[in-house]
Amino acid sequence: MITRQFGSEVRWMLRRPRTLIGLFGLVLVPIVISFGIWTAGEDEGGGPPGLGAILQGNGMVVPIFTLFLSLNLLLPLVASIWAADGLAGEAQHGTLRGLLVAPVSRVRLLFVKLFGLAAMSLFAVTLMAVVGIIAGTAFLGTDGMMTLSGTTLDTGEGLLRIALFVVLVTFQMVSIGAVALAVSAATEHPLVVQAATMTTIIVFQVLGQFSSLDWLHPFLITTGFPGLIDVMRDPVPLDQIWDSTLLAGCYLLIGTGLAAMRLITKDN
Amino acid sequence: MTTSTSAPVTAPSTTAVAARTRGLRKEYGSTVAVDRVDLELPQGAVLGMLGPNGSGKTTTIRMLLGLVRPTEGEIELLGRRLPDGAEQVLPHVGALVEGPGFHPFLSGRENLVRCAAFEPLLPRKQIKQAVEEALDRVGLAQAAHRRYRGYSLGMKQRLGLAGALLVPRKLVVLDEPTNGLDPAGTREIRKIIAELHAAGSTVLVSSHLLSEVEATCTHVAVLHRGTVVAQGELTELLQAGGSALQVITPDVEKALSALRQAKISARPLGDGLRVELAGTSAPQVIETLVQGGARVFEATRWKTGLEELFARLTEAEEAERGMSAVDTLDGGSR
Amino acid sequence: MNNRKVTLAAAAAGVVAGAAGLGLLAMPAGAGQPPTLPDVSAESLVEQVLTSEPGAFGGTVQVDNKLGLPSIAEIPQLADGKHSARIWTDGNGRFRAALPNGQSEQTVVHDGKTTWSWNSADNEVTKAERKPDGSKPDERKPDAKAEAANPAEAAKQVVGLTKEFSDISVDGTARVANRAAYELVLTPKASEKTLIREVRIAVDSELKMPLRVAVLTNGTSEPAGMVGFSEINVGPQDPKLFEFTPPAQAKVTTPEAKEERDRDRSPELGLEQALQGENPQVFGTGWDTVVGARIPAEAMSQVPAEAQGLVDRFTKKVSGSWGSGKVFTTKVATVLIADDGRVVAGAVPEQVLFDTIGQVK
């Protein structure tokens, strides 16, 4: 039964025009980046800082660079849209009532929504990575994958790194989505959910800039984003990656718990 | 009919009920939406729930379906207490509450398939068939491939009904099912309700259209200001509330004084008077009138329509509250 | 009803657990219970530290810097805060150090013959080869950097240089990078005119290798600077770590070429080089040693305006019988730059510098 509900949920999300538009937009990112780096071409020292500096001729890094960039804004936005449509949107259309009367228990409904979010996030992130590999390899060429530490990994190991990064980014995205689901459970207006989520993410990032607020930083999910780049170091230092993931895990717990509490007590 | 085999044995006094509420109360903040609702929905009945807008019909229905938690009171649905038993009984309940709710970007069929996926009683393999049957039943088969977005109000309503009928139900709850339907559509809904009734399902229809209820229901519950002001079998209610005699007479004054002396309540109406038959009978009234010297041209038994009953029930209270002056005047004229 | 309450409680527990988790994550890693170790005398511990041969290990070094240095965009590692580096060594001179810098990374690998210095930010490898005559041309820079990141080496140097001028004691034990350690404390003797109150060195109880160095200054209880392992694994390291092949896309240059270019690019290097230059003059001994130098007049005038502005922003103007100049103060060190190009610096109060600057030739 639950697999059938999961399946229905994912099919429903995939049928949404805005999901398709969103996925299309996401896929454009690695293509545009590859193209941009390619046209920047031989210019000395050009290119964005950080990971961007080693993109030239290093196409396998494109998926990681793309996801790393997108994690700041684009992926949270997509996750918030899905979370918003999941509960607030269904409430707005009156379809949530239908599901509850079917009946789907409220806790199960939340897990169906969370699963849908996770499945779609994984799908979107994987899609971006795959397109990134293709576009990166096509535009920038590849000879394995050069890491930030200056070592070169062979293709297989490079793909493993990309897969690890895909999983990590997906988890961050799902955690943000879980918090958005909590908001989504509390309102009937999907836009409120998106606005609240994106405002939070942006405010967190701004707060992260103020060193006078450094006591606050460990609590912000956005603090964990930059550490994920450690995937591109060799050997991979795990502590920051682990911290980021635990941080996101806390958000996932809080978001899911709040959403469940709200759903259980909510009148529909 | 098969809800709980033990229920009739342990409680033979009560006829089997599909749903029952006791002392139901729901507050939203400081406003009381529903108060002291004791509703009984006998098995196999078609209960029409009547009431003006804001009388608490929808809130009561939502509580019955476990969508809303009552502030106070008990709900028993198909032999189980809610909300605990919701997962056991709700699969047997089809509902169309507060208008149809579907996704605009999906076709009618896709919407139903999505609903069907969440129906616990529907095996995966039968989903397709159940959806087609439901679409057929509400006459949407032709338009099933079109997006819900483009549906007319009536088509949306039908799709909602189809959703409620995906699985054979023991209880079907329809909140304002004829909203937005043209007369033909309304007739179809009536037909479907009759079919459900014939098949032994219990049906709860809420409506503000009295004729509709009168035409399709076996039982009626009238809600007003959040409470049930009357309920029971339609025929009984009509009889109890509706015994009056319409007398055409030119001698209204004489007639009134004669009746007053006989302690029969009456009031002038049109070119005659209306005599309440409470505590008396038609022959007795006519006898009194004739003895009092009033000429009786015509006397008709007044058969109360639901509309009148409804108006009386919902306005009586109005009168109690706001028009007590009329009341005393009425009393004084007796 | 009950069911609902249970679910509600579970959900609430989830929220609480998540919030508690955030709190735990935000808390600085607890030092843990100090281990119980057999007593050891300060003298023998110092002896063991100086003679210890750490051998092969790999680990993460955390630098916690509260020196009160200004944050300069070009050298973020100097700014206050926590920085980490990873180092590996095979115990025979081959090593690798990875210094993350935001999203970039500097990697220094010494494979026995060649020192490779890779910076991902400019996709460039600097290759310094041991010349046939055996001298090590300009290995200094990358080596110095890597050594500074290695608390074991840093601590050995500190101990070696200062033990005669300090009261040395063992002050309990500590747990560093999950290893049991003695806390060796070097307190400058009363006669030393230094800003530093004490230096605490956590010495691994087994390997006698310093695991952490903390510098405490007068008037504060928190260390002004701390370098220590946050994680260490002792034992042979993957030999691949001590090899480096320049990535296909990277530019490979020699240190000379790079320095040439960098001098134009970052003016603060000029000052650094002047202080480390050919003729540094050392005055005094022990904790209040002062290093002096004279920057050639043309170098002084060559300092670009923006660098001048930078200098002005973080220094204060002073003058005295010795002349006039600017003084730059941090918690552990003071630098005095006279307008005529004389520079003195040391872990001393500025008065000591005023007294010493006259001796600079």
pLDDT digits (tens, 9 = 90+) for B214-259: 788 889 888 888 888 888 888 777 766 556 778 888 888 888 888 8
Question: Contact, C206 vs C358, CB < 8 A?
Answer: no
Residues B1-52: tens digit of each pLDDT: 433 333 333 333 356 888 888 888 998 888 888 888 888 899 989 998 888 8
Rounded-to-integer distance, Cα A139 and Cα A38, Å: 6
Q: Quick one: pLDDT at residue B234? A: 81
What does the block give as tokens for A261? Answer: 């509490």
Torsion sign, CA atoms B90, B95, B101, B106: positive
In chain C the first and final C-alpha atoms are separated, in Å, by: 89
Instruction: State phi, psi for A75 to the nearest 5 degrees.
Output: -70, -40
> Is B150 buried (19+), middle (13-18) or exposed (0-12) by CB count in 10 A?
exposed
C240 lies within 8 A of chain B by CB = no
- Whole-complex ipTM: 0.86
Partners of residue B93 in chain A, C-beta under 8 Å? 101
pLDDT tens profile C32-86: 677 888 888 888 888 888 887 777 888 888 888 777 666 554 455 556 677 788 8
DSSP label of C68 = -
Please name the fold of domain C267-359. TATA-Binding Protein (3.30.310)
Distance CA C29, CA C229 (A): 13
Tell whether B83 lies on the interface with C, counting CB pairs under 8 A.
Answer: yes
Note the pLDDT of residue A43.
55
Closest residue to C107, CB basis, from A58, A150, A249: A150
- The sheet carrying B272-276 orders its strands as B266-269, B272-276, B244-248, B298-302
Q: What is the DSSP string of A10-75?
A: HHHHHH-HHHHHHHHHHHHHHHHHHHHHHHHTT-TT-S-SGGGGG-TT-GGGHHHHHHHHHTTTHH
Q: What residues of chain C, 46 to 85, have a C-beta less than 8 Å from chain B?
A: none
Q: Percentage helix, strand, coil, to 5, in chain A? A: 80, 0, 20
Q: Which of A164-178, B84-98, C139-153, C291-305 has the lowest mean pLDDT?
A: C139-153
Most C CBs within 10 A among B68, B81, B84, hence the mutation to make, goes to B84
**Using the beta-carbon criterion (under 8 Å), do A50 and C102 form an inter-chain contact?**
yes
Which tokens go with B241? 């509330």
Round to whole Å and give the CA distance between C162 and C185: 12
Task: Examine the pLDDT at B316 and tell me if it is beyond 70.
Answer: no
B101, B115, B117: residue with CB nearest A4: B117
Residues of A in contact with C117 (CB under 8 A): none
- Candidates A1, A101, A113: best to mutate against B (most CBs of B within 10 A) is A101
Please name which of A214, A23, A179 lies closest in space to residue A87, comparing C-alpha atoms: A179
C10/chain A closest Cα distance in angstroms? 8
- According to the model, what pLDDT value does residue B116 have? 92
Q: For chain C, what's the residue count?
A: 361
Q: What is the DSSP letter of C27?
A: S
Measured CA to CA, the distance from residue B306 to residue B218 in angstroms comes to: 12
- C336 — pLDDT class (breaks 50, 70, 90): confident
Give the nearest partner residue to C103 out of A50, A243, A264, using CB atoms. Answer: A50
> Which of A24-38, C126-140, C233-247: highest mean pLDDT?
A24-38
A1 part of contact set with chain B, CB < 8 Å: yes
Per DSSP, helices labelled H in C27-90 are 42-51
Q: Is A8 on the interface with B (CB under 8 A)?
A: yes
CB of C103 less than 8 A from some CB of A:
yes
Decide if B117 and A8 are in contact by the 8 Å CB cutoff.
yes
Q: Between C125 and C295, name the one with better pLDDT.
A: C125
Overall average pLDDT of the C309-335 stretch: 80
- Nearest-CA residue of chain C relative to B74? C1
What DSSP state is assigned to residue A85?
I
What percent of chain A has pLDDT above 90? 61
How far is residue B230's CA from residue B236's CA, in Å, rounded to a whole number? 11
CB C294 within 8 A of CB C361: yes
The verdict on a CB contact (< 8 Å) between C19 and A150 is no
Instruction: For chain A, positions 89-118, list CB contacts with chain C under 8 A.
Output: 107
On whether any CB of chain B is under 8 Å from the CB of A17, the answer is yes
Minimum-distance CB partner of C26 among A152, A219, A226: A219
Eight-class DSSP state of B296: -
Which residues of chain C lie closer than 8 angstroms to A148, CB-CB? 100, 103-105, 120
SS (H, E, C) C262-322: HHHHCCHHHHHHHHHCCCCEEECCHHHCEEEEECCHHHHHHCCHHHHHHHHHHCEEEEECC
Measured CA to CA in angstroms, residue C130 lies from A135, C232, C260 at distances of 42, 30, 20
Q: Is A4 helix (H, G, I), strand (E, B) or coil?
A: helix
Percent of chain B whose pLDDT exceeds 90: 18
pLDDT confidence bin for A19, thresholds 50/70/90: very high
- Rounded mean pLDDT of chain A? 89
pLDDT at residue A245 above 90?
yes
Give the number of other Cβ atoms within 10 Å of residue C150's Cβ: 22
Beta-ladder partners of B24: B37
- Helix orientation angle between B127-137 and B153-164, rounded to the nearest 10 degrees: 130
Neighbours of A111 (CB within 10 A): 18
Tokens of C335: 């630098």
Looking up tokens 């480390």, which residue turns up? C276
| Region of poorest pLDDT, from B56-60, B155-159, B303-307, C325-329 | B303-307
Summarised one tens digit per residue, pLDDT across range A154-198 is 889 999 999 999 999 999 999 999 999 999 999 999 999 999 999
What are the two backbone dihedrals, phi and then psi, of residue B48, each rounded to the nearest 5 degrees? -95, 125
Backbone conformation region of residue C17, classed left if phi is above 0, alpha if psi is from -120 to 50, else beta:
alpha
Q: Which residues contact A47 (CB under 8 A, 6 or more apart)?
A: A37, A40, A53, A55, A56
* A101 to B95: CB separation less than 8 angstroms, yes or no: yes
Supply the pLDDT for residue B9. Answer: 35
Q: Among partner residues B95, B103, B118, which is closest to A104 by beta-carbon distance?
A: B118
Question: How many Å apart are CA B84 and CA C216, to the nearest integer?
Answer: 65
Q: Which of A57-66, A199-208, C274-283 shows the lowest mean pLDDT across its residues? A: C274-283
Third-level CATH fold of C42-239: outer membrane lipoprotein receptor (LolB), chain A (2.50.20)
How confident is the model over B298-302, as a mean pLDDT? 77
Q: Which residue of chain A comes nearest to C20, CA vs CA?
A: A250
What pLDDT, on a 0 to 100 scale, did the predictor assign at position C263? 55
Instruction: Say what the pLDDT of residue A70 is.
Output: 93
- pLDDT at C269 exceeding the cut of 80: no
pLDDT at A39 over 80: yes
Chain A residues with CB inside 8 Å of C60's CB? Answer: 237, 239
The pLDDT tens digits of the residues spanning C123-173 come to 888 888 765 444 444 444 445 555 555 677 777 777 877 778 888 888 888
A150-159, A216-225, B13-22, B139-148 — which is least confidently predicted? B13-22
In angstroms, rounded to a whole number, what is the distance separating the alpha carbons of residues C238 and A234?
12
- Percent share of chain A, pLDDT over 70: 96
Sketch the domain layout of chain A as residue ranges.
Answer: 2-265
pLDDT of residue B28: 87
Of the pLDDT bands very low, low, confident and very high (cuts 50, 70, 90), residue A131 is very high
Domain boundary assignment for chain C:
42-239, 267-359
Residue C29 DSSP label: P
Chain B residues close to A16, C-beta within 8 Å: 105
Q: What is the pLDDT of residue C300?
A: 63
Taking CA atoms, B334 is separated from B260, B282, B328, C111, C217, in Å, by 6, 19, 10, 119, 106
Tokens of A212: 């006078």
- Which sign does the torsion angle of CA A12, A18, A19, A21 carry? positive
Closest to B104 (Cα-Cα) out of B137, B143, B150: B150
Contact B47/B72 with Cβ under 8 angstroms? Answer: no
Report phi then psi at B23, rounded to 5. Answer: 55, 35
Mean pLDDT value of segment A97-120? 91
Condensed to tens digits (0 to 9), the pLDDT of residues B112-130 reads 999 999 998 889 899 999 9
Q: Chains contacting A with at least 3 CB pairs below 8 Å?
A: B, C
Which pLDDT value is given to residue C274? 52
For an interface test with B, give the residue of C1, C2, C5 to mutate (most B CBs within 10 A). Answer: C1
DSSP element (H, E) containing C69? none
How far apart are alpha carbons B68 and B60 in whole angstroms? 9
d(C-alpha C21, C-alpha C25), whole Å: 6
pLDDT band at A82 (very low <50, low <70, confident <90, very high): very high
Q: b/e for A58-76, b at 16 or more Cβ within 10 A?
A: bbbbbbbbbbbbbbeebbb
State residue C76's pLDDT score: 53
Minimal Cα–Cα distance from A191 to chain C, Å?
25
- Which secondary-structure segment (H or E) carries B216? helix B210-216
- What is the distance of C-alpha A25 from the center of its chain? 14
Of C65, C71, C220, C212, nearest in space to C151 by CA: C212
Calpha distance A54→A60 (Å, rounded): 11
Q: What pLDDT score does C270 carry?
A: 52
The per-residue pLDDT for C11 is 92
Q: Find the helix or strand (DSSP H, E) in which C345 lies.
A: strand C342-346
A-chain CB neighbours of B99 within 8 Å are 94
Q: Do A148 and C104 touch (CB under 8 A)?
A: yes
Tell me which residue of B177, B179, B250 sits closest to B216, measured CA to CA: B177
Q: b or e along B203-227 (b: 16 or more beta carbons within 10 Å of the residue's beta carbon)?
A: bbbbbbbbebbbebbebbbbbbbbb
Strand segments, DSSP code E, in chain B are 17-28, 31-37, 40-42, 46-50, 72-77, 80-81, 93-96, 171-175, 202-207, 219-224, 227-233, 244-248, 266-269, 272-276, 298-302
- Average of per-residue pLDDT values in chain C: 78
Residue type, C285: T
CA distance A30 to chain B (A): 29
Spell out the residues 6+ positions from residue A22 whose beta carbon is closer than 8 angstroms to its own: A78, A81, A124
Compute the distance between CA of residue A68 and CA of residue A173 in angstroms, rounded to an integer. 12
Cα dist from B300 to A102, B254, C232, whole Å: 51, 19, 106
What CA–CA distance (Å, rounded) separates A217 from B90? 47
Chain A residues touching B105 at Cβ < 8 A: 15-17
- CA dist., res. C197 & res. C331, Å (int): 11
- CA-nearest of C185, C196, C214 to C31 is C214
Q: What is the pLDDT of residue B132?
A: 94
pLDDT of residue A242: 93
User: Does residue B95 surpass a pLDDT of 50?
Assistant: yes
Domains of chain B from N-terminus onward: 18-238 (3.40.50.300), 242-332 (3.30.70)
C22, A239: Cβ pair inside 8 Å? no
| Chain A residues close to B97, C-beta within 8 Å | 97, 101
φ, ψ of residue C211 in degrees (nearest 5): -105, -20
